[in-house]
Chains A and B, each alone.
Chain A
Amino acid sequence: MSWLYIHFPDVIEQDWIGDEDAPFAVVDPATDTVIHVSPAAEHAGVEVDMSVGMASYLCADLQLCPFQPERYQATLLQRALWAYQFSSQVCMDQSSPQPSRQGLWLNMDGMLRLFHGVQGYCQAIKQACQQQQWQVSIAAAHTPLAARHLALNPVPWHCSDVSNETSMATFAEQRLRQLAISEFDLDETVQTTLRQLGIKTLDQLLRLPMSEIHHRICPQLALTIKRLLGQVVHPLDSVEMPDHYQHSTHFISEIESREGLLFPLKRLLGGLCGYLQHRQFTTQQLRLTLSHRNIADSEWVIQIAYPEHRLSEWTDICRYQLERHTLPAPVQTLTLSVEQLLPLDSQQLNCFDGIFDEADIDHSINTQPDTQQKEALINRLQARMDAQQLQRLTTTGDPRPEYAQQSLFAEQAPADQPQKIKRLCSQRPLWLISQPQPCSVPTDILSGPERIDGGWWDQQSVRRDYYIVRSQGRVQWMFRTDTGDWFVHGYFS
């Protein structure tokens, strides 16, 4: 068995988010008929292929969502990208014009050993779909077409009932042979011909010689049967992974507050971070596009200083950053897009960094697994504050005290300073005030003077005599200029 088909009956809902108990239906705008109903609408009596007028009459508060092919494609593509965690080859099935009969093919070659056989593989996929709260129908077979038909016509037996692969294969074949011809999406003329010949099931069709089917009924039908039986290879195009990420959710009832956006945003972030993890990417910028009914789309850009790929961090950063924006109007659609995908640096994932660091060994109470990711704190603080409110320090070696240190933005790492000759004599205060304060002549001088003379190179020359002074119970760093004025420049704390 090398092919698996996944059928998602709910993809047609196209990521509409609304109240789960409210009845809603997806409508084909061309024909104004209902093509999909939610359970609540079904309970009220709305059925597939009913007209919109009739459906609205039966259920007064029915929400109607138009079917949009490009949105449907986008949703199916998202599912295909999600399915790449289970297989190296994922193909989208768009052979049927009806959207409710489309799905994904997964090639199982090479994956069965990892998942302990076909049973384990199907089980893993079903569990993953349950976590995402998707309905699925899965079937495995030797050929893609066989898997597709088995998935679209599920039987209660499913994969878990049958003991081993060979008996599963025989059962699958028996089941296929019993399928009616109408299930095979054939042309009207071909179906009429087969009906006139009295052929109703695949089993009856297979008794006819293949050359006769090719010449007298339809060559395409012969090719389909050969592909179904595995006599001819069925070529399929894999889904290509895009270089960017984009996903939208649409709201049945518009969202009017920032807090209401958090839950759908968290779902989008979950999809994004899963994608980043699967492809080993990280990113520094998210773009949120909010579509409104009457005004132009708003765009919120969330930019962080250090690349991040973890869901917990992105969720908190987005929550803090959302507080800085205001909603101009109720939101109908929320789109998350990431244009810049950066490769995940393997150094960031070094799991031994925190364990063998000698100084951290006595952190036995709470060991963080990613101590080397301390830059994440800067991302979180900057999510709520301006960039210039966070600073790092570096020394410059300038003799003038006010230029001896420099404040850097949090993103700039201070360069490693070469080993400086320690000036054993100089005592420097722990606090330096930015503007020296004039003061009176001190009476209790503890040490000094220390002359600091320099700054001729940038026309900011200073010549001061510094003293360590005690006054009012505090130890201060004062200086006297050439003119005899005294100023306080720092405090020894």
Chain B
Amino acid sequence: MPNQGGAMSLELQQVLQTGQVWQAQQHQATSQVSISSGYQQLDNQLPAAGWQPGQLCEIYHRGLGAGELSVVLPALAQLSQRSKWVLWVAPPAMPYAPALEAAGVNIQRVLVVHPKSHQEALWCLEEGLKSGHCSAVLGWLYEWQKAPIRRLQLAAQSSAAYCWLWPQLEMDNSGSPAALRLSIERDTPWTIKAQFHKRRGSWPSDHFTVPLTTRDLSAPVRASTPKSTVVNPITQRQVG
């Protein structure tokens, strides 16, 4: 802080010391537990530079295929290596196991639940979060009320589970008990445009882009042929 005058900076110092002022640099606390989202641009925008356990994140999108699942896929791959479940509640279609495997997710930990009603879906989410047997809980909601979301947020906090929800509705602008609210739409086939509407410990962010894959999706698809190796019988060296 530049010294703008002895008496004023002294008052400011006192106010800072009593903790009455919130400073933006405080939210970059490094001692908090988090796992990287796998995307540097997303990590930069997340409090604690990564997804945190016990912090419910709502992801809003329009229709399947907007990149809404890819943002959590690297984190899921990491979490599925633990000896706990990755619970999928009421997904809109069946998650495709070969694609999950290619992304590094251990499908032996994946448990998919198809509840018959919204109440049953909420019950499954809460049971999964409270049990402590799930490292991650993913839920697709077709109705949205604040009270159940608050209960899920508290349940996630109590068991330190990672939780992501995809409400299939328009975002309710009056606020949400969830810790994070993210909206996603596809920008180009290989990047998405995202915006945080709520971040606990920080203010809402501007739009930012996240490249989802390092490989260009428009590259021509060609089966890879193994490199031919010729072994020189005399020198026994591989000549590629």
Contacts of A473 in B (CB 8 A): 62-63, 66, 185-186
Contacts of A372 in B (CB 8 A): 83
Flag A460-493 by CB within 8 Å of B: 1 or 0 each: 0000000010101111100000000000001111
- CA distance in complex: A157, B98 (Å): 76
Flag A429-455 by CB within 8 Å of B: 1 or 0 each: 111111000000000001111100000
Report if B102 contacts A (CB, 8 A).
yes
Contacts of A450 in B (CB 8 A): 221
- CA distance in complex: A475, B63 (Å): 10
Question: In the complex, what residue of chain A is closest to B93 when comparing beta carbons?
Answer: A431
- Once the chains bind, are A446 and B160 in contact (CB under 8 Å)? no
B interface residues, tally (CB under 8 Å): 65
Report if A363 contacts B (CB, 8 A).
yes
- Once the chains bind, are A359 and B128 in contact (CB under 8 Å)? no
Contacts of B202 in A (CB 8 A): none
A interface residues, tally (CB under 8 Å): 66
Contacts of A359 in B (CB 8 A): 78, 81-82
- Once the chains bind, are A366 and B159 in contact (CB under 8 Å)? yes
Flag A343-362 by CB within 8 Å of B: 1 or 0 each: 00000000001100101101
Contacts of A429 in B (CB 8 A): 65, 96, 99
Within 8 A of A (CB), among B89-114: 91-103, 107-108, 110-114
- Once the chains bind, are B107 and A446 in contact (CB under 8 Å)? no
- Once the chains bind, are B95 and A431 in contact (CB under 8 Å)? yes
Question: In the complex, what residue of chain A is closest to B218 when comparing beta carbons?
Answer: A446
User: B114 to chain A: closest CB distance in Å?
Assistant: 5
- Once the chains bind, are B93 and A357 in contact (CB under 8 Å)? no
Query: Beyond A392-B112, A446-B217, is A474–B96 a contact (Cβ under 8 Å)?
Result: no
User: A362 to chain B: closest CB distance in Å?
Assistant: 5
Contacts of A374 in B (CB 8 A): 83-85, 133-134
The contact of B186 among A353, A385, A422, A474, by CB within 8 Å, is A474
14 extra interface residue pairs, beta carbon distance < 8 Å, beyond A404-B97, A431-B69, A474-B63: A371-B133, A372-B83, A377-B87, A381-B127, A389-B113, A424-B224, A430-B69, A432-B93, A450-B221, A472-B63, A473-B185, A474-B186, A490-B93, A493-B66
Q: List 11 A-B contacts (CB under 8 A).
A: A363-B160, A365-B33, A365-B160, A366-B159, A390-B112, A395-B101, A413-B108, A430-B70, A447-B217, A447-B221, A476-B65
